[in-house]
Structure 1
Amino acid sequence: MSKVITREQQEEKYTWDLQTIFESDEAFEEKYKELEGRLGEEVQFQGKIDSSEALAAALETERAISDEIGKLFVYAHLKHDQDTSNDTYSALESKARTLVVKFNTAWSFLIPEIMKVDQETLETWRQEERLSEFSFDLEKLNKKREHVLSDKEERLLAQAGEVMSNPTSTFGMFNNADLEFPDAVDAEGNTHALTQGTYIDLLKSSDRTLRQSAYENLYSTYGAFKNTLSQTLQGVVSTHVFQAQARGYDSARHQALSNNFIPEAVYDNLVKTVNDHLHLMHRYTELRRKQLGLDKLKMYDVYTPMIKDVEFEMTYEEAKDWMLKSLEPMGDTYLNIIKEGLDSRWVDVYENKGKRSGAYSSGTYGTNPFILMNWQNNVNNLFTLTHEFGHSVHSYYSRQSQPSNKSGYSIFVAEVASNFNEALLADYMFKNLEDTKKKLYLLNEQLEGFRGSVFRQTMFAEFEHKIHSMKEAGEPLTAGSLNAVYGDLNRKYFGDAVEYDEYIDVEWARIPHFYMNYYVYQYSTGYAAAASLSKQVLEGDTDVAERYINEFLKKGSSDYPINVLKNAGVDMTTSEPIENAMKVFESQLDQFEALLEKL
């Protein structure tokens, strides 16, 4: 039986170096006390934003404190995520989160007070030199005037922040720290540890008995808590709906997309275009059924490789080499940033007990862009590592090139850099692999990546919009109604090649992104944009790589996300990028079928 190691058993070189943020927990506490003591500095600006000089001083003070609190929060949440069962760091994260709420509450007066300045005057002020770093922020505020509330109302919403985050916090703690699954059992009766980190790897097993055991054990466990989890999900959806109504938006989706100035038509256009191409998804599931030699495909069969007997394990050390070679078209500066990350312990590599599941890139202005992994020795983890370094390099460039208030970037563009990296990796590997079976395996991974990043995320987007619409119409979100909506969508997307069961209907209960307010659709749009940009780079146009770095990676939030992508060479207000992505998927299907004939 495989064992999951404890945090103390991790080798230091495979853990992230959080001492680059704070040398110790004691240093964290000192900084916490210092910043807690700065609460109150906002009083000097309340009721006194009567000149451009006063506005600049207020914005600069708020930004300086915010930057430091950001470091506190990142340190605490990374410490917590490396072992969510550690009470010390659970308390530390809670403490940091509370300080964030207190800070936001204290400064909640600022935007309403800025909004008291008439639009014409504010437009004049933002042209002045001292406010140049805040000029674009002020422009966006002017555009959101109708949704800004009074001082009292804004303060009340800020104070409610911690309460409204409870459904998400409860789900995260339950999903990562408390929930345990029975071991999966293979055809020979051997047991395998089933965790958030091992689940997908078990579903990739060639042993169908093991796949079925892992699948049923995972979803039967979630099913046992479906009523509780339906309430945590309903809680966060209710929060989204309440906030939108309080601010006068048409809907929760309207508010979520308006935050980044994304037209709602982009969302609808994505869903429609993907739905128009579901025949390609159905072609894929039918191909999978035939290749696996099954009468009916089950949902626990959709991850296992279609190409059998391929030895394609990938250690972490091997993965680093593949990643670096594949990204050489981006130039030495780009590569050196990744090498710095690998050498300076940006990456927390291996799973341990209590560690947060999945993978991400995190950090803030003034810290390294850290990467969480739960490494398994397979090629999929190579793609995940390369994906997360796309995020990290994006963050590195934007933080180096922009002031802190413009160094972040919207979630609409966040997935472009990560998928761009994956596209370069896939192209390099396909060109440098000689074994036909390995090429087929790689194509299988690309098809799976497309299924997961475009079709699956668009299905998630449909689900998310449906449940928000139900709540806005006054319909309760029960376990039964959530199961019904999710099950119907699953059947529509996967088609007739799949034989369905009741387990998959409860998959909604384990998806953390449903707590993130209209996030998931951007995986699909990001994938499409990345496909277009990477194609241009791979065609050998060196100007494209330079433009991608200068007009996209370095821009942060210095322009509207739609414009940032357009300047980089992709117009997401049209259906063309999604259509082009579908052509890529169809081409991969064609290549896969052609290579099969050579076996």
Structure 2
Amino acid sequence: MAKAKELPLRKDVPVQLTWDLTTVYKNDDAFETDFNEIEKELVPVKKLAGSLSEGAGQLLKATEFILAVNRKLEKVYVYAQLKNDQDTSDDKYQAMFARCESLAAQFGAAMAWFDPELLQLSEKTMSKYYQDEPKLKAFKRLFDQTFEKRDHILGNDVEEVLAGAGDIFSSGEKTFGILDNTDLSFPVVTDENGKQVKLSQGVYAILLESADQNIRKQAFEKLYEVYDQFQHTLAATLTTNVKNHNFKAKIRKYHNALQAALSANEVPTVVYDNLIKVVNEHLDLLHRYVALRKKILGVDELHMYDLYTSLIGKKSPRYTFDQSKQIALEALQIMGPDYVSHVKEEFDNRWVDVVENQFKRSGGYSSGTYDTNPFILLNWKDNLDNLYTLIHGTGHSMHSYYAHHNQPYQTGDYSIFVAEIASTTNENILTDYLLNKFKNNDEMKKQILNYYLDGFKGTVFRQTQFAEFEQFIHEQDASGRPLTANFMNDYYLSLNQKYYGDAVVSDRQIGLEWSRIPHFYYNFYVYQYATGFAAASTLADNIVNGDSSNVEKYLNYLKSGSSDIPTNVMKKAGVDMTKPEYLEKAFAIFENRLDEFEKLF
């Protein structure tokens, strides 16, 4: 048997394809200096308790000091997290990250008195404070966010206990992360070239694109053999996470975990409800697309492992990382010279960790904090999907860059709710760019439309399916129903059948899909991929087909940070996400492109 192809060790990855974390700390000693300073500052933070009622000056002093410590804490946390994620088997950085998680919990406990004490200040008192100390006005938005939670903040002692138990509450997520990224051992499989390769999350995604159904089936079955072995353990880790959310929602007097999660980001639950309702009303489009896929592939049975292979009868176009950077720069010219200059800064200064190495965290994400440049983690493969992943991550990075450079620290971050809009607007702009570039090339148009339709399926339909599942398991746990592996397998399989329809065989293994999705540990996060993509469809259409004022509106959204509630920020950019119209427009674009795709065949 040929020797299996192994991923490189971290030390063997070319430096230019790794992120440069010396922009955060020159070395680990510099990290330790800040870490030790934060530890020493926890006592002074706690000693400020009881001071907020003593006058405007004391409120200003406490606010500025706590934010300064938090700012430093975010920096050490990000450094440790990125170091750990680049090689999750490295004991040194496992320990460093664990120390930061513990320190974050200690800081949360030390300043847990702040919100309850702030809530003791009446509106009349706050008005006087703003008059007595004008510098406090810079923090009004921050204070108002706390006042909005008045009915859900508990007493000082309880808040301190909850904050101090942060490590315990995150145990399910941490256990899943270690198991999924480090301890699970995947088998060797055969690729299209007859080579033996060790299965990983990245390799699995590539094999599902294979034109050979046997290769796709092998990868699918072998991957789920591993998760099948651990389904009961994974059910326990997910259940722990769900119980955490339901417990906190109950003691904070929210109606349910969904309301608690969305309230944290100032998002009304009508946004979530509208998404599931409108998507379910348009499942006929997904059924139509799946039936077309079956017809084009010419298979007697279409299986879940057949949903990612190209319908063009050939592999995805090959794009190297360097080629992808150039295409991204060309597509984003429409955003104006200032935006493009910062994208070049990202590409030229090692903000991106590019290739997959042994024990590297799977998937991809954007990270960073107020005092660092943004960072992107990739597990690069030379295909169209990774070109889109790069421009997606770049959207996140530019959002962070503009927010950090145009807002003070206290409003320099942005809500998770609006985060995916920036990234998927970039994706939609890339799609328009490529369709225009290849308007006279039917074969490339097929490739791009195939990718777009699959992307819409994966981002709007699939993530909403995830959102339905997430809501269901929280509701079932809240009602006292045990979340056993078999119970979740059965429900997930039936949900999959509803979404994809009769044209596809919902293979038994797909019932296990919940067990390998890390986003189910993120507390009602996934719905934002779907809402974000739909909103981005409107924004990208405005930018591409409208006048230059739409670019200015869009950049102002990027610059807004958390200076207003998220739905208001998006209204200013041109999308009202409390109403279903933006979703309807997204489905209209999908249907038009589905029509175009059908005509090409």
What TM-score results when the alignment is normalised by the length of structure 2? 0.97
- Alpha-carbon distance between aligned partners in 2 of 1:465 and 1:563, rounded to the nearest angstrom: 25
Aligned to 1:273: 278
Residue 423 and residue 595 in structure 1: after superposition, are their counterparts in 2 closer, same or farther (change >3 A)? same
1:107 aligns with 2:111: yes
Aligned to 1:251: 256
Query: Cα distance, 1:311 vs. partner?
Result: 6.4
Query: Cα distance, 1:120 vs. partner?
Result: 3.0
1:137-536 alignment, distance < 5 Å: 137-186=142-191, 190-309=195-314, 312-433=317-438, 434-536=440-542
Indicate conservation of the 8 Å contact 2:400/2:413, yes or no.
yes
Indicate conservation of the 8 Å contact 1:222/1:506, yes or no.
yes
1:542 aligns with 2:541: no
- What code does the residue aligned with 1:278 have? L
- Alpha-carbon distance between aligned partners in 2 of 1:40 and 1:436, rounded to the nearest angstrom: 67
1:18-29 alignment, distance < 5 Å: 18-29=21-32
1:75 aligns with 2:79: yes
Indicate conservation of the 8 Å contact 1:303/1:448, yes or no.
yes
Indicate conservation of the 8 Å contact 2:176/2:234, yes or no.
yes
Aligned to 1:48: 51
Query: Cα distance, 1:351 vs. partner?
Result: 0.3
Pairing partner for 1:14 from 17, 22, 30: 17
Alignment partner of 1:327: what SS?
Answer: helix
Aligned to 1:65: 69
Alignment partner of 2:299: what SS?
Answer: coil
> After the TM superposition, which segments of 4 or more aligned residues of structure 1 sit over 4 Å from their partners?
186-189
Higher deviation after alignment, 58-67 or 303-312:
303-312
Q: Aligned residue pairs: how many? A: 595
Query: Cα distance, 1:403 vs. partner?
Result: 1.3
Alignment partner of 1:16: what SS?
Answer: coil
Residue 126 and residue 135 in structure 1: after superposition, are their counterparts in 2 closer, same or farther (change >3 A)? farther
Higher deviation after alignment, 36-45 or 313-322:
36-45
- Alpha-carbon distance between aligned partners in 2 of 1:110 and 1:310, rounded to the nearest angstrom: 56
Query: Cα distance, 1:186 vs. partner?
Result: 4.7
1:575 aligns with 2:580: yes
Indicate conservation of the 8 Å contact 2:424/2:533, yes or no.
yes
1:118-133 alignment, distance < 5 Å: 118-126=122-130, 129-133=134-138
Query: Cα distance, 1:192 vs. partner?
Result: 2.4
Query: Cα distance, 1:346 vs. partner?
Result: 0.2
Pairing partner for 1:3 from 6, 13, 16: 6
- Alpha-carbon distance between aligned partners in 1 of 2:80 and 2:320, rounded to the nearest angstrom: 30
- Alpha-carbon distance between aligned partners in 2 of 1:331 and 1:432, rounded to the nearest angstrom: 19
What TM-score results when the alignment is normalised by the length of structure 1? 0.98
Residue 502 and residue 115 in structure 1: after superposition, are their counterparts in 2 closer, same or farther (change >3 A)? same
Residue 43 and residue 463 in structure 1: after superposition, are their counterparts in 2 closer, same or farther (change >3 A)? closer
Indicate conservation of the 8 Å contact 2:242/2:474, yes or no.
yes
Query: Cα distance, 1:133 vs. partner?
Result: 2.0
1:590 aligns with 2:595: yes
Residue 188 and residue 419 in structure 1: after superposition, are their counterparts in 2 closer, same or farther (change >3 A)? closer
Residue 497 and residue 126 in structure 1: after superposition, are their counterparts in 2 closer, same or farther (change >3 A)? farther
- What code does the residue aligned with 1:160 have? A
Alignment partner of 1:506: what SS?
Answer: helix
Query: Cα distance, 1:129 vs. partner?
Result: 2.0
- What code does the residue aligned with 2:539 have? L
Please give the per-residue CA displacement for 1:498-553, whole angstroms capped at 9, x wherever unaligned.
Answer: 11221100000000010011111111111111100110110141010011101x10
Residue 37 and residue 490 in structure 1: after superposition, are their counterparts in 2 closer, same or farther (change >3 A)? same
Indicate conservation of the 8 Å contact 1:310/1:437, yes or no.
no
Residue 99 and residue 310 in structure 1: after superposition, are their counterparts in 2 closer, same or farther (change >3 A)? closer
- Alpha-carbon distance between aligned partners in 1 of 2:203 and 2:194, rounded to the nearest angstrom: 18
Aligned to 1:95: 99
Higher deviation after alignment, 191-200 or 122-131:
122-131
Residue 269 and residue 30 in structure 1: after superposition, are their counterparts in 2 closer, same or farther (change >3 A)? same
Alignment partner of 2:201: what SS?
Answer: coil
Aligned to 2:90: 86
Kindly report the root-mean-square deviation, in angstroms, between the aligned alpha carbons of the 2 structures.
1.2
Indicate conservation of the 8 Å contact 1:119/1:142, yes or no.
no
- Alpha-carbon distance between aligned partners in 2 of 1:392 and 1:350, rounded to the nearest angstrom: 18
- What code does the residue aligned with 2:418 have? V
Residue 139 and residue 311 in structure 1: after superposition, are their counterparts in 2 closer, same or farther (change >3 A)? closer
Aligned identity (percent) is 46
Query: Cα distance, 1:189 vs. partner?
Result: 5.4
